Amino acid sequence: MNGANSTLLDHIRFVLVETSHTGNLGATARAMKTMGLSRMHLVRPKSLPDAEALARASGADDLLANATLHDRLVDALAGCQLVIGSSARLRAVEWPLLEPPECARHLLAAARTGEVALVLGRERSGLTNEELALCHYLVHIPTHPGFSSLNLAAAAQVFAYEIRQAFRAGQGETLPREDRDLATAEALAAFHDHLTRTLVEIGFADPEQSGKLSRRLRRLFLRARPDWTEINILRGILSAAQGRKDPARFRRRERTEEGSP
């Protein structure tokens, strides 16, 4: 593997949210390492990797040792320009849905220009709607419809395998290169907080009910994949709507321009 190619896989992180069983942390590390992936991010794991995790990692201890810990999912996604959440259930909400091979191609294509994340949920309950709201896409491993929940590390193995196959086939090349400087997950999250606050302040949204509206709007902006300039424009509009900008500033400028020779 040459240096440039290994960087591509190094841009892909697997984010595990509130994993209960340390054995699953180890087995996921093993699943990732067999496919050349190395970056694990753990959000509030129930316990830190222990002897059981090391036994299941079976030589992938380095991934566990280098795993990064976070309190909040949004922190684990810092710097990511593409976030894909995985779910054992097909959700009622309309999320753009990918199959594992497409998910792998999207991750690799975006990894050419920035950081990307695949998010895996809790063993018992998966990911919450609030957590999925941070994701651009959802990926679902098509299973027998009556029994769709894979073990966490087994699901990680399927995703890692598909990433490896797409990487081998060089299919990352087939999706157009993203030439815009896309806003990162934390910039989008900060924009959404600002939007939600503003909608309540300007009397558009009922503070009690704004959660649902906020999720819908999140989906809209995630679909659009705004870049940094667009996010700055949108935040400027929100500040103006909050009355933090003085409309007279344009009149002042007109006068200055008229007055200039």
Cβ proximity to ligand SAH, 97 vs 217, nearer residue: 97
* Contact call for residues 192 and 135 (beta carbons, < 8 A): no
Q: Which residue in 163, 159, 160, 179 sits closest to 171, CA to CA?
A: 163
Contact 73, 44 (CB under 8 A): no
CB closer to ligand SAH out of 42 and 152: 152
Q: Round to whole Å and give the CA distance between 195 and 201.
A: 10
Provide the minimum distance between the beta carbon of 157 and ligand SAH in the complex, in angstroms, as a whole number: 11
CA-to-CA distance for 201 and 207, rounded, in angstroms?
9
84, 60 in Cβ contact below 8 A?
no
Q: How far is the CB of 251 from ligand SAH (least distance, A)?
A: 55
Query: From the CB of 75, what's the least distance to ligand SAH, in Å?
Result: 19
Nearest CB to ligand SAH, comparing residues 16 and 222: 16
Shortest distance in whole angstroms from residue 80 CB to ligand SAH: 16
**Given the complex with ligand SAH, which of 117 and 141 has the nearer CB atom?**
141
Closest approach, Cβ 85 to ligand SAH, in A, equals 7
Spatial CA neighbour of 234 closest among 179, 180, 192: 192
Of 121 and 172, nearer to ligand SAH (C-beta) is 121
Backbone dihedral angles phi then psi of residue 162, each to the nearest 5 degrees:
-65, -40
Residues that bind ligand SAH (CB under 6 A): 86-89, 120-121, 123-127, 139-141, 143, 148-150, 152, 155
Least distance between ligand SAH and beta carbon 96 (Å): 15
- CB closer to ligand SAH, 8 vs 120: 120
Gap between the Cα atoms of 83 and 87, Å rounded: 13
| DSSP string for residues in 75-125 | HHTTTEEEEEEE-SS--SS---EE-HHHHHHHHHHHHTTSEEEEEE-BTTT
d(CA 37, CA 217): 33
